Structure 1
Amino acid sequence: MHQPTRLQALSTFLKAQRAKLLPQEVGIAPGIRRRTPGLRREEVAQLAGVSTTWYTWLEQGREIKVSPSVLEAISNALRLTPDERSYLYALALESAGTSTYPLEEQQLAISPALRRILQELRSCPTIISDRRGTIVGWNAAAAHIFLDFEQLPPEQRNMIRLLFTRKEFQRLAVNWEHFASGYLSIFRAYYGKYVEDKWYEQFLEEMGRLHPDFNRMWEQSRVSSAPEVVLEFRHARAGKMLFHLTSLQVQGQDDLRCSIYTPDPDSPTEVKLKQLMERRPLQP
């Protein structure tokens, strides 16, 4: 098991969550001499009902015994969301998921039923990805809005990598960071579950080395297994388009995820999408 990796991820997460909380939010007077943002370690320990030394060791990533009840108290002190709590539990209780065999050896061809669902979602760009963000399925609408993934070698079809490397994605979203952060929050949820998989550390190191914005966005990213957001796209041909992103977990051992972009009903987005797909002249 890759214990140092797991403990380092736990340490980084606890520090980031502590830094997000203002003293006044938890009923603590802010004072005038605070050298770091957020709460102090002793304040989190007090709120959780544990000793400052024990919490410090936990945040430093030391190997200490942790119980679910104490983690619940820390979760309450840090005001974690349900997804953030699951992330904390996975890291602290050594319950990160493992595969019975490496993911690259799995046959990730999507089922005929799932492929039929993709085809039926004609007016909703839809992408299916695995726990590493690799795109394993998409429909025609997604190819028209994003890019034709069929033209990419399979090893390049990683959604996180594409968000940072392809100009099509960076030009498409009006608020690109908001768009990318949604995928990073899902990716972090998987990272907490599969932190023992060496691939994640290698991928994070590569992305941080090649893309200056990645480390900052990764450190600031939230944890969410299914964020629901509204996205404004500026498509090269269709102009302004509004989509509601819904992310669904596909049940099964492969941890597949279905990301569905539903056209905003109060906008002409669906009409524009149909015109794109039919290759008809777009109406203003």
Structure 2
Amino acid sequence: MDREKRTDVSMADFLRSARTRLTPREAGLDDSGPGRRRVVGLRREELAQLAGVSVDYYTRLEQGRSRSASAEVLDALATALRLDDAERSHLHTLARPRPARRRRRPRPQRVHPATWGLLDTLQQTGHPAFVLGRRLDVLAHNALAGRLITDFRALPAAERNQARFVFLDPHARELYRDWSRVAADTAAMLRLDAGRHPDDPDLGALVGELSIHSEDFRRLWSDHQVHRRTTGTKDYHHPLVGDLTISYQALTPGDDPDQILFIYRTEPGSPSETAMRLLARWNDPAAGTSGVEAQVAGQDRE
């Protein structure tokens, strides 16, 4: 399939998925008329009316038979579909024509020394932190992030990937208390990356691997949802220190827009902060391992 055709199909799939997720009531339409609706979400003619385009034109867009969508039309569709900023940007990216080029692997990403220094500083202040790159590859993390999630440094380089961990590692389902939400967000982040780098053969191989080995990933990938992490919270059930809730912030370090630095923190004075401090001292000779083990064991008994 040539490059322009792949773009049309991707945009068509995204539009179709977004339309079926939006109910008439959410779109501000009256759905109290007689008879049962035979479609899930909005009808094509309803979306076309909301966006101010003809039904025939919108149908051609959704069937991948038109490459003429202007920025104004895309914005009108995004507004009618109630897309957020990440979804709106994704739609524009999918519709943007790119010159045909040979699929080749991009250069390996490198973490800047200043970012490594920041990871060390965050380690000293008790903050797990890690850097994700293209395809959600884990490029770097401090020791505390390795203890909280998993030590990606102990894995072969090809397996240091957040999506592979979430969908293929059994530990992830036990670690994340709301694994379903984490899985949906992970697939949506990967879908956003796929829109930006459609010619990345390593990303295609990753999606193929996950699709083969994870039914959950196949289902979520077919939803065509996209997500860009900025801030939020996440709940863990850690095998050593029990339950804890963290808040995170995502930043772009240096001059590589395809790198994201995640910084975790816990609420001061909370049980989660206590658990994080215990985790930071685990196997730390300066802290005294036996004392930490006793505190953790006591917490587990409670």
TM-score of the superposed pair, with normalisation by structure 2: 0.86
Trace 1:116-265 onto structure 2 (pairs within 5 A).
Answer: 116-122=117-123, 123-220=126-223, 222-253=225-256, 255-265=258-268
Shift of 1:260: 2.0
Secondary structure (helix, strand or coil) at the match of 1:230 reads: strand
CA distance in 1 between counterparts of 2:229 and 2:151 reads 25
CA distance in 1 between counterparts of 2:183 and 2:272 reads 21
1:72 match: 75
Distance 1:200 1:4, change over 3 A: farther
CA distance in 2 between counterparts of 1:113 and 1:101 reads 29
Q: What is the one-letter code of the residue matched to 2:22?
A: L
Which deviations, in whole Å up to 9, do the C-alpha atoms of 1:156-193 show, x marking residues without a partner?
00110111111221110111011222222322222221
1:111 match: 112
2:5 match: 4
Secondary structure (helix, strand or coil) at the match of 1:121 reads: helix
The percent identity for this pair of structures is: 31
CA distance in 2 between counterparts of 1:56 and 1:269 reads 51
TM-score of the superposed pair, with normalisation by structure 1: 0.91
C-alpha contact 2:12 2:62 (8 A) present in aligned 1? yes
Which deviations, in whole Å up to 9, do the C-alpha atoms of 1:117-170 show, x marking residues without a partner?
111112222121112111110001111111211210000001101111112211
Distance 1:18 1:214, change over 3 A: same
Distance 1:258 1:156, change over 3 A: same
Q: Higher mean Cα deviation, 151-160 or 181-190?
A: 181-190
Secondary structure (helix, strand or coil) at the match of 2:26 reads: helix
1:85 match: 88
2:16 match: 15
C-alpha contact 1:57 1:64 (8 A) present in aligned 2? no
Secondary structure (helix, strand or coil) at the match of 1:54 reads: helix
CA distance in 2 between counterparts of 1:91 and 1:162 reads 27
Distance 1:247 1:181, change over 3 A: farther
Distance 1:147 1:186, change over 3 A: same
Q: Higher mean Cα deviation, 239-248 or 219-228?
A: 219-228
Q: What is the one-letter code of the residue matched to 2:43?
A: R
Shift of 1:14: 0.6
2:27 match: 26
Across the two proteins, how many residue pairs are aligned to each other? 281
CA distance in 2 between counterparts of 1:144 and 1:201 reads 30
Q: What is the one-letter code of the residue matched to 2:20?
A: A
CA distance in 2 between counterparts of 1:26 and 1:178 reads 25
Shift of 1:227: 4.1
- Structure 2: which 5+ runs fail to align? 283-291
- Structure 1: which 5+ runs fail to align? none
Q: CA RMSD in A?
A: 2.3
C-alpha contact 2:103 2:201 (8 A) present in aligned 1? no
